[in-house]
Chain A
Amino acid sequence: MTTDIDLEQARIFLDTEAALLDDQDFEGWLELFAPRCRYWLPISEGLDPEEELAIVNDDRATLDARVLRMRNPATYSQSPLSRTSRLIGNVLFDRAAPQVPGTVAVRARFTLAECRNRETRMYAGRLDHRLTRDELGAIRIVEKRVSLVNRDSALHCITFLW
């Protein structure tokens, strides 16, 4: 079964997603995810979130809670919120990813600058999206994996959304 998402559509989708995050429209971003989904940041190989320890490993319910938490000023690690600016590039279909009917695997690279409390940090890494179309034809995220180049370093607070 093929999923009707071409590379240009995938690229626009990823850029749109990035814009929502950088614009701090977290609720709008959340709507991009499928009702059953995973959002995760691996520490090691990034092969199996059920078997590996990860930096973040959210199912849909946890992701909902994460976004809700961002809006509460008592979430001190995001109060004030991080300002972010990210560039997405090198967007390709991931031919090496397992075939899952009804989905496409898209790989990309990102660089991201984050500023909070007047301190700026740079991050970079690989993005892996598994995308599908919902019953209305909208593109939805089934899985989003964010593999930081420094994932095995001791990290500062990274509770902003990736």
Chain B
Amino acid sequence: MSGSAPPPPAPSPGDLVHADRVHRRAYTDAALFDLEMERIFERGWVFVGAESEVPAPGDYKTATIGRVPVILSRDKDQGIVVLVNRCMHRGATVCREDYGNTSAFKCLYHGWTYKTSGDLIGVPFGGGYGKGWDKSAFSLRRAPHVGSYAGLVFASLTAVDVDLETHLGGARKYLDLMRDNSATGSLDVARVPERYVVEANWKLQLENVVDGYHPPFTHETAFEAIAREKGHNPATTSTQGSGARCATLGYGHGLLDYSDTDRGYSGKSSDSALAHHASLVERLGQERADEVSNADLQLLVFPNLFVQTGRQHLRVIRPVSVDRTEVYAHPYAVPGGPEDVNKAQLKAIAWWASAGGFGQPEDLEALAACQRGLAAPMAEWNYLGRGLHREVALSELETSGDVTDEVAQRGMYRRWIELMVEQS
């Protein structure tokens, strides 16, 4: 019997990314995907969930960090902790619900029981491991670094090179706009998300959420539907020279900023929105209140979070395999914000960011088409050079260009190289 050849080694990440292009194998190589999970997701800051998803002591939700199942748990004594969802005895996930409230996590296999802080408190049938057996060595593994910003919880499973605030880089300025819009300083994120499958590599999904070039083409018929209803076609604000911007914010984060356009999303001039704005003026002063109310942002927090303020929702990007990604899109309410606008988001998210919506399905179709095309050799590179000659550094962290330019994507891959090569 002749043994099958061993799988080819992962290509060297440094060979796959240039300043204006990315090699197709970055999207198609399964060994490289494993390396990404290890070096990007299972090391460094990753979004896990929102504080509002676990508001009370004992509340939990399950999530993943790369390939690792985790529990975002609010312990009554220790506050928010992130636990590896894996029994230290024989490996079963100890929490099998999406979310809930509990006093303990009890493994279904042999009944090992852990506090919501992860401490092992119960092992059935005492004495089975002899004298001096140290139960505390078998507590659930805990993410050593957990931090929260604007109510959004991030964690790292291993050491981090920078603290959370540093990691958020130029994205903080935009998260602060969202934070200041909220009476509590947090976003009230819903527990139940839209869930959909992208038949493409996770990085294609990341590129897409900060791609201001594709909307008039990919979303032509959705925009026509909006135009028929509202008399304003968003395609006119999604074109070159519209005043909207595409920016990179350091550490891989990216932004589409439509604040200086009017995309025609509802709310800004309604009675309730004006009342909310008046309350912002009182709290923040006129200048900051105007800035906050005017913000129309699509923010990518590398490597797995996207927040959109126009339709109030965030998306968690979950890599599954080299050619499959899942996205969970959670609506959020702005505490203290206009109630009718907050409520309208449920329908707005279903309308756009759902597998049966008017928007997302065309992105899913486009990204699957990319993945199919990238499978082929012959043409080796994806070209991300648009606007390279005209991008402008606004600060040490932020470089900006036209909304149709690929500034954010280039920034993403600069971070990708740092994590995949320089820190390995």
Binding site for B on A (CB under 8 A): 41, 43-44, 50-57, 61-62, 65-66, 68-69, 72, 74-78, 152-159
Contact = CB atoms under 8 A, between A and B. Distances in A.
Interface stretch (B49-57, B112-120, B166-174, B359-367): B359-367
B346 A57 contact: yes
Contacts of B361: 76-78, 157-159
Given A69-B225, A155-B197, A155-B355, A76 B350 contact: no
A63 to B, nearest CB: 11
Given A66-B358, A76-B366, A54 B225 contact: no
Given A77-B364, A155-B196, A53 B355 contact: no
B327 A154 contact: yes
B228 interface: yes
A55 B354 contact: yes
A43 B330 CA distance: 12
Given A62-B351, A69-B221, A159-B355, 4 more contacts: A52-B192, A75-B362, A77-B362, A154-B326
12 contacts: A41-B356, A50-B343, A51-B346, A53-B194, A55-B350, A69-B225, A75-B221, A156-B199, A158-B356, A158-B361, A159-B356, A159-B357
Interface residues of B, number: 37
A14 to B, nearest CB: 21
Contacts of A50: 343, 346
B327 A57 contact: no
A53 B196 contact: no
A157 B365 contact: yes
Contact of A157 (B194, B346, B364): B364
A103 to B, nearest CB: 23
Interface of B: 98, 190, 192-197, 199, 218, 220-222, 224-225, 228-229, 326-328, 331, 343, 346-347, 349-351, 354-358, 361-362, 364-366
B346 A74 contact: no
A116 B152 CA distance: 39
Contacts of B362: 75-77
Nearest to A153: B195
By CB atoms of chain B within 10 A, which of A56, A78, A152, A157 has the most?
A157
A44 to B, nearest CB: 5
